[in-house]
Structure 1
Amino acid sequence: MSASFHEMWADLRPIGRDGGTGGYHRYAWTGADADCRAWFRAQATARGMTYETDRNGNQWAHLGDPTAGDAVALGSHLDSVPSGGAFDGPLGVVSSFAAIDELRRKGAEFTRPVRVANFSDEEGARFGLACVGSRLAAGALAPDAARALRDADGTTLAAAMERAGQDPEALGPDPERLARIGAFVELHIEQGRALDLTGDRIGVASAIWPHGRWRFDFRGEANHAGTTRLEDRRDPMLAYAATVLAARRAAASAGALATFGKVAVEPNGVNAVPSLVRGWLDSRAADHTTLEALVTAVEQAASESAAQEGTTVDVVRESFSPEVSFGAGLRDTLVELLNGAVPVLPTGAGHDAGILSGTLPSAMLFVRNPTGTSHSPAENAAEDDCTAGVTALADVLEGLACA
């Protein structure tokens, strides 16, 4: 692997890392995020690239004229989920700079401008909505709605951005900037085991499953855990638990995915029957019809369980991303540039490339994940596979942007 990759990885690795678990806490507009952003700017400056932050907080490093059109853009994100892995996002950013270094070392002549991007708040770990930076740029998220997003402490996105030195009033679509990009390629660790099972180091994305987040609010009656008879209780936790099990059964039946991975309880006392249990459902499927039927089944199960326990439930869809089929033109070009020796596969994980695909030609490269584990400190990629990823990205960049 190139020395530049090792150096960048070593510099970035400690930022936002929990020394006990090894997981990362790089949430948008926090101190760890600021350190990651400073790292990105330093990498751009060290390479003589023009650096800027756009109106939505996305960072850009420009090789060539920043105002020129038909640019080839690379990149991903640097933020993380709670206790996330080292590779999800950062591998794509580090590999982008490393691919440029590789081509410069071999004396390649760039005939198209090149960009490297770090998209802000991709994971949505703090404010609950994924891909905020790319959604805003593409006009898929209204600025007022973005500014009003709140974290668990009640801090708005607008307030957090102001504290970080970014102007939230500037948020909004960025069509002129995106129009100057002729192709966007995002390299990412595969968040699954498809490549490991086939023995391939690198893959090309064909599509992203439709997916969304739904909030289930189960409301009952707070009471004393030691004095309230079981038959007198209106316990929303029971309805919530039944819904979690029902979601698992429905997903298995549909060949889809349903996960309740976040829950909030009020009053959250060991010796108190809850008055409110709020759970968030993440659901994904290969097509919209299957996903819609799955969520409907979970909502029905929630309503029935709530009624049985003398409680109520309200369901709010907080976000939704439709199915993305990456354009065959750029996708097939990537396969051709990699000599046709790579599998083409779909993914259930959302990415900035999926958001941007509706606005500009976008494609993705995947690097093998030996265990399939992601969004966890155990997430990993072998050094040889990371090397193959940098080489593949350099080959793609050379084919798209060099003479």
Structure 2
Amino acid sequence: MWRELRPLGRHPDSGGYRRFAWTPADAECRGWFEGQARLRGLVYEVDRNGNQWAWVGDPGAGDAVVIGSHLDSVPDGGAFDGPLGVVSSFAALDELRARGVEFTRPLAIVNFGDEEGARFGLACVGSRLTAGQLTKEQAHRLTDGDGITLPRAMETAGYDPDAIGVDSDRLDRIGAFVELHVEQGRALDLSGDRVGIASAIWPHGRWRFDFRGEANHAGTTRLVDRRDPMLSYAETVLAARREARLAGAVATFGKIAVEPNGVNAIPSLVRGWLDSRAADQESLDAVVTGVEQAAHAYAREHGVELDVVRESFTPVVEFDHALRDELARILGKEKDPALAVPVLGTGAGHDAGILSGRVPTAMLFVRNPTGVSHSPAEFAAEDDCVAGVRALADVVEGLAGK
């Protein structure tokens, strides 16, 4: 499976993946998922929001155990973020069948669409629509960098954008959702564990900072006469680092757009996107407030106008305690404390976090020896991936097996 999936959407120069929503690369990944489902004789379906499902048992019976993740990527992303959870889900099913496990509950493997938000700027679109956290009207207003709307992109890919929206009937069928994911950090590597259980997802969000100045000639305009928004932006980037360090949080300006974007032109507009995350809401608020205050001060200093828009926000997500404890019981083999699986928090958002308000959700992490993610250097060793598959199989057997 990994060999078949690896080349799909991989850029020949960067070695990273560009599997963006509703593109040909995304279609190839979706075709791969459907092929894996049909190869195993599973009931395959696509829901109204374009999420793919592969079922063992009756999809309408209710109280289903669902496993899976996503297949799309960030720009030049790594091979493991998302795909490891989907590949491991199919592999876990193979393992359970090899064990001869019979299921007492329906089992589904899912590929949620547009989890990374790389094309339209909003993460977890497929799961947000399903859970009612994103309305059809809001989704229809999303556009990519080329001005293509989400509805147009869906239509081009052969899907109906007018059908999207909350899918309560489907959510009502789910008794538990368990998402396996490569760890995006080094906690497991530092502890020496191959697999961990998620406790919570940090609150996080994205804010757009629009610095508006005055375009002018780079060679003839005196420094004192300039209204250069790049200066305010650059100082705000440094302020974000300072505020995050003080709060024990993280803050990143990772995307920028400049107009007119000429080497010999003072910019008229610098637009930067802030991503910030913290272990608690108070710390996150302190970071964002501090960055905004600093940005406004720098803008005034340089004669620049500033608008700040919160584009997305996800509050802290505490995964279902009963389900989390059940996973710990299944994997920890309570009889031997030395086998206990560590429980750790994460600063990364996931579909499991979006769905947590509607269904019991939990996550498993697989060790990442470098901690690198959202990069072609992202990596997990084969034996650790196998350990993740076996852990996921154990969980599914514990939750849905006889």
Specify the TM-score bucket, using the shorter chain as the normaliser: over 0.9
Work out the CA distance in 2 between the residues paired with 1:199 and 1:20: 34
The DSSP-based 3-state class of the residue aligned with 2:219 is coil
Match of 2:217 in 1: 224
Match of 1:393 in 2: 392
- 1:154 offset after TM fit, Å? 0.5
**2:355 equivalent to 1:362:** no
- 1:147 offset after TM fit, Å? 1.4
- Within-5 A mapping of 1:155-234: 155-234=148-227
How big is each residue's C-alpha offset from its partner over 1:333-378, in whole Å with a ceiling of 9 and x where there is no partner? 0011102520000000000000001100000000000000000000
Identity of aligned pairs, percent?
Answer: 73
Work out the CA distance in 2 between the residues paired with 1:155 and 1:298: 31
Work out the CA distance in 1 between the residues paired with 2:165 and 2:12: 37
Out of 305, 308, 318, the position equivalent to 2:311 is 318
**2:300 equivalent to 1:307:** yes
Work out the CA distance in 2 between the residues paired with 1:381 and 1:192: 12
The DSSP-based 3-state class of the residue aligned with 1:332 is helix
Match of 1:78 in 2: 71
Letter in 1 for 2:357: G
Work out the CA distance in 1 between the residues paired with 2:222 and 2:112: 52
Letter in 2 for 1:393: L
Match of 1:109 in 2: 102
Uncovered stretches (5+) of structure 1, i.e. residues with no partner:
1-7
Q: Which deviates the most, 189-198 or 286-295? A: 286-295
- Within-5 A mapping of 1:270-349: 270-338=263-331, 339-340=333-334, 341-349=340-348
Match of 1:61 in 2: 54
Work out the CA distance in 2 between the residues paired with 1:367 and 1:209: 19
Tell me the matched-pair count. 396
Work out the CA distance in 2 between the residues paired with 1:347 and 1:37: 27
Work out the CA distance in 2 between the residues paired with 1:349 and 1:327: 17
- Within-5 A mapping of 1:218-257: 218-257=211-250
Match of 2:337 in 1: none
How big is each residue's C-alpha offset from its partner over 1:297-330, in whole Å with a ceiling of 9 and x where there is no partner? 1000000000000111100000000100011100
- 1:111 offset after TM fit, Å? 1.2
Match of 1:31 in 2: 24
- 1:20 offset after TM fit, Å? 2.2
Match of 1:378 in 2: 377
- Within-5 A mapping of 1:6-21: 8-21=1-14
- 1:213 offset after TM fit, Å? 0.2
Match of 2:35 in 1: 42
Work out the CA distance in 2 between the residues paired with 1:106 and 1:75: 20
Letter in 2 for 1:282: D
Letter in 1 for 2:394: D
Work out the CA distance in 1 between the residues paired with 2:288 and 2:96: 47
Work out the CA distance in 2 between the residues paired with 1:69 and 1:15: 34
How big is each residue's C-alpha offset from its partner over 1:219-250, in whole Å with a ceiling of 9 and x where there is no partner? 00000001000000000000000000001000
Work out the CA distance in 1 between the residues paired with 2:18 and 2:46: 22
